[in-house]
Amino acid sequence: MEGLYVHVPFCARACPYCNFDFEVGRNPDVSGFLAGLKREVQLRRECELLPQSFQTVYIGGGTPSLLGAAGLARLCDWISAMFPGSGAVEWTVEINPEHATPALFASLRAHGVSRVSLGVQTLHPHGLVELGRVHSVLQARNAIAEAAKAGLRVSADLILGYRGQLQAALGDDIDALTQSGATHLSIYALTVEPETPWVKLVRRGMREMPDEECQAALLRHAHDYLESQGFTHYEVASYGAGDHRARHNQLYWTWCNYTGIGPSAHSATYENGVVTRRGNTRGLAAWLREPLAQVERLAGEDAAREGLWLGLRQLDGIDVARFLTTFAQVDRAWLERVTRRQVDIGNLAWCVERSVLKVAKGRWLWHDTIAEDVLAGEVAG
């Protein structure tokens, strides 16, 4: 399976904690952007093998919904024209609640979109202010309901751990989202990136750096509540009801190829245990001039280590047989050696007669500790 990611680099305003690649402005130049995408695809078709079609499509940003119903329709049509038949398994678009309308969802549905990811972030007015979001609580709830009504699968993002968030209200928030029709939640702790406005705001006393302990409690609480409500915690930051999984995102963790187009988008190809990662130029103007920036190739143990780390993001764990086929440069003894310490301290567990290696129950909160160990290539002690 292969996926296509399209990065839409426009935002109406900057969120204080975010450092993704975006341009601020209310009237994005859709034609110019599409021309840029076209040029990139042409360039890449000359120098690398791009698939004719992708099973999954993900339009993210930035704020894709800033393109409006018409703009998104043009983008979707362009994708379908360039890569006919794409998005058959899943076609997701990120939508900000303030842009959600029944007409937008109907249009998306008509242009092949099957799933929306809504940037809800929180259902508390002060939280929305704290996070610099412009939509209202009501808009967020309506957006989910309208999207579901239009026949789209709905995922909602939640950010935990901003100042003043109450653990007691978290269950109600989750109920509100699921009752509105969300069948998938992406939950992550507020992470303040360096060189974002948040850092400056903290200095002025207008924000606080997130408290690790409080965030941990919230993450744990959300986890317990969602599991009690029948959601499956299938990836470190993702919960799905029933069989709802973010199929495109899963490609990242399961050693599948994906192609990213647009500013700062990333691509990966796996071939004979060698991973090639391409990163596009950051910044709309720079990307328009020269879209392709860097290529990184990982081989041998390095590729296997990275594959191990990524695979472990899936909480079902790694199918060892498939891992050893994908990364034939290493063997089972290698896998046991590089994971021994984490197994010993109880962060990783072998199961199903040692055919599956996964993060032990409750230990996903220390996923980066595990990652540091398996990526570093040296065993402590």
Partner 1 sequence: MLSWVCGRCRAGHSPSRGHTRVPPIDMNKPSQASVRTPQQNIRSFCIIAHIDHGKSTLADRLMEATGLLGERDKTAQYLDRMDIERERGITIKAQAVRMRYDYDGETYELNLIDTPGHVDFGYEVSRSLSACEGALLVVDAAQGVEAQTLANVYMALDADLEIIPVINKIDLPGAEIDRVKEEIEEMVGLDASSAILCSAKTGVGIPDVLEAIVALIPAPKGNVEAPLKALITDSWWDAYKGVISIIRVFEGSIRAREKVRFLATDKTYEVLDVGAYAPEATSLPEIAAGHVGYLICNVKEVADSKVGDTIAIASDETAEALPGFQEVQPMVFAGVFTSDNGDYPVLRDALTKLSLNDASLTWEPESSSALGFGFRLGFLGLLHMEIIQERLEREYNLDIITTAPSVKYRVFYKDGTDEIIDNPAKMPDPGGFDYIEEPMILSRIQVPEEFLGAIMKLCQERRGIQTDLKYMTSTRTQVTYELPLAEVVFGFYDQLKSISRGYASLDYDVAEYRRADLVRLDLLVNGERVDALSLITHRQNAFNRGRDLCVKMKEEIPQQQFEVAIQAAIGSKIVARTNVKALRKNVLAKCYGGDISRKRKLIEKQKRGKRRLKAVGNVEIPQGAFHAILKID
- Measured distance CA(322)–CA(266) in Å, rounded: 24
At 185, the amino acid letter reads L
First to last CA, the chain: 41
Nearer to partner 1, 105 or 255 (CB): 255
Q: Is 264 in the site for partner 1 (CB under 8 A)?
A: yes
What is the closest distance, in whole angstroms, from the C-beta atom of residue 366 to partner 1 in the complex? 5
- Measured distance CA(74)–CA(69) in Å, rounded: 9
Interface stretch with partner 1, choices 105-113, 122-130, 138-146, 210-218 (CB under 8 A): 210-218
What is the closest distance, in whole angstroms, from the C-beta atom of residue 315 to partner 1 in the complex? 12
> Do the Cβ atoms of 277 and 266 come closer than 8 Å?
yes
Residues 6+ apart with CB under 8 A from 371: 309, 312
Q: Is 273 in the site for partner 1 (CB under 8 A)?
A: no
The contact pattern for partner 1, residues 3-22, with x = CB under 8 A and - = no contact, is --x-x------------x--
8-state DSSP, 74: H
Tell me which H or E stretch contains 235. strand 231-235
Of residues 167-196, which lie at the interface with partner 1 (CB under 8 A)?
Answer: 186, 188-189, 191
Which of 237, 304, 312, 318 binds partner 1 (CB under 8 A)? It is 237
Q: Is 223 in the site for partner 1 (CB under 8 A)?
A: no
Residue with token string 């341009």 = 23
Interface stretch with partner 1, choices 97-105, 147-155, 319-327, 367-375 (CB under 8 A): 367-375
Of residues 294-313, which lie at the interface with partner 1 (CB under 8 A)?
Answer: 296, 306, 309-310
Of residues 135-154, which lie at the interface with partner 1 (CB under 8 A)?
Answer: none
Residues 6+ apart with CB under 8 A from 204: none
- Measured distance CA(39)–CA(268) in Å, rounded: 20
Q: Is 364 in the site for partner 1 (CB under 8 A)?
A: yes
> Do the Cβ atoms of 5 and 256 come closer than 8 Å?
no
Q: Is 42 in the site for partner 1 (CB under 8 A)?
A: no
Query: Where would I find the beta strands (DSSP E) of 252-303?
Result: 257-261, 266-271, 274-280, 292-298
The contact pattern for partner 1, residues 93-132, with x = CB under 8 A and - = no contact, is ----------------------------------------
The size of the interface with partner 1 (CB under 8 A), counted in residues, is 49
Q: Is 38 in the site for partner 1 (CB under 8 A)?
A: no
What is the closest distance, in whole angstroms, from the C-beta atom of residue 377 to partner 1 in the complex? 9
Nearer to partner 1, 171 or 279 (CB): 279
Q: Is 221 in the site for partner 1 (CB under 8 A)?
A: no
Q: β-pairing, 10-11 with 2-8?
A: unpaired
Nearer to partner 1, 205 or 381 (CB): 381
Residue with token string 């002690």 = 381
Nearer to partner 1, 42 or 294 (CB): 294
Of residues 53-92, which lie at the interface with partner 1 (CB under 8 A)?
Answer: 60
Which of 169, 202, 217, 293 binds partner 1 (CB under 8 A)? It is 217
Residues 6+ apart with CB under 8 A from 99: 63, 65, 66, 68
Nearer to partner 1, 212 or 227 (CB): 212
- Measured distance CA(364)–CA(249) in Å, rounded: 18
Nearer to partner 1, 92 or 107 (CB): 92
Contacts of 174-181 spanning 24+ positions with Cβ under 8 A? 174/222, 174/225, 174/226, 174/229, 175/229, 176/123, 176/141, 177/120, 177/123, 177/141, 177/144, 178/229, 178/241, 180/141, 180/144, 180/145, 180/148, 181/144, 181/145, 181/147, 181/148, 181/149, 181/154
Residues within the interface to partner 1 (CB under 8 A):
5, 7, 20, 60, 186, 188-189, 191, 212-213, 215-217, 219, 236-238, 249, 251-252, 258, 260, 264-268, 277, 279, 296, 306, 309-310, 345, 347, 364-369, 371-373, 375-376, 378, 380-381
